[in-house]
Structure 1
Amino acid sequence: MGIVVNLDVMMAKRKMGLTELADKVDITMANLSILKNNKAKAVRFTTLEAICEALDCQPGDILEYVDDKPKP
């Protein structure tokens, strides 16, 4: 699975909707939705920084590495 985006979890914890976060971060709702639904292939550090500022969190609160390889 690799990198998982837990943006929806942080948005729920901060009681912030997609529209409000998109406005604060100055990103389209479509692009924010792609991030939120784990469809993004990349994220710019400036976008990640703006999201962290808006949600008052750390990048590690949003991004998580999940090892999906079977253990030998």
Structure 2
Amino acid sequence: MKKDDLGLSYSARKALTVHLGEAAGNEIATLIQRMAAQIEELKKSKVSVTQVIPNQSKIDPVLQALENESF
């Protein structure tokens, strides 16, 4: 995704400014653009996690349940 694509379209920005006022609409549009840029940065820095415990059956059941959760 290019940096230019991280924001809202002109019509979406215009709708925000019309319905919320210019200051609030611009503030929300800027916030959305910054959040999109941060999400893209997180996607780029995401790493795979390698299990360091070879035998999963010896793990405490609570820890094993936590390992199986996805966030």
Q: By the TM > 0.5 criterion, same fold?
A: no
Higher helix share: 2
Higher strand share: 1
Structure with more contact order per residue of length (Cα contacts < 8 Å, sep ≥ 6): 1
Structure 2 length as normaliser, TM-score?
Answer: 0.30
Structure 1 length as normaliser, TM-score?
Answer: 0.30
